[in-house]
Amino acid sequence: AGGTWKRWHEKVEDLASRGFHLSKLLDLFELLLEREVMPSFQPDVSTTNDVVRQAIIPLSRVADGGKALATIWSDGEPVIPDRMVSHSWGNVFLHLVAAIVADGLGSETFSSTASLLKTQRGIRSLKRALRNSGTLERTYWVCALSVNQHTSVCHTLGKAPDAATTPRSRIALDKKRRDTVSMKEFPVCNCGEVKRLNDDPNECELNKFDDMM
């Protein structure tokens, strides 16, 4: 029992040290606007699920395995987050980033930051404002970036609809498997990273959020 608790606690400590600097998140958004990593990216439409599947997972692939993108950004050094952000993968990714930037600027709403994030010039303006506020390097924790997707979801699109699936559930399941803009089914990652899910609870990264907080 002691060994089991030790492994659990070590993974909690590992996860809790995968923060990232706000400047890195803005760099990622700039990259998305260039549409080389993710050609279908549309700021007002693309969801966090779209971005995870087509940008975060490919960008965090390392040789035959992968890491959390936050780990790659920090060169493997621990980064303790100032903020932990709760969000839904089904929401627009722009809104997630805009809310985080608004926090950095001390704003209660994110509509103006969302508008600025849609252009490279606007992002440069936001970086200047955050730098002047002393919060450009504030650290955050977001599961999409701080969890290693290569140990969990990169290889699968989840349950596929079958003959027993109701029409309503079929639509919902199919939507999760496709890009919101192009409607093409997401590619899956063929990395060799060992998957750690509920059959390996001590190493799983999806079941420790309460302990992290």
| Model confidence pLDDT, tens digit, residues 80-126 | 999 999 999 999 999 999 999 999 999 999 999 999 999 999 999 99
Query: What is the pLDDT, as a whole number, of residue 1?
Result: 57
Helix (DSSP H) and strand (DSSP E) numbers for the chain: 11, 5
Report the C-alpha gap between 96 and 173 in whole angstroms.
Answer: 23
Distance CA 195, CA 118 (A): 35
Q: Which residue has the higher pLDDT, 158 or 118?
A: 118
Distance, in Å, from the CA atom of 102 to the CA atom of 100, rounded to the nearest integer, reads 5
Determine the average pLDDT of the residues in 2-22.
91
Q: Is the pLDDT of residue 161 over 80?
A: no
User: Which residues are paired to 147 by β-bridges?
Assistant: none
| Confidence (pLDDT) at 2 | 64
Burial class (CB in 10 A: 0-12, 13-18, 19+), 39: exposed
**Of residues 170 and 180, which shows the higher confidence score?**
180
State the amino acid at position 3 in one-letter form: G
What band does 167 get if pLDDT is binned at 50, 70 and 90?
confident
How far apart CA 78 and CA 61 sit, in angstroms, is 19
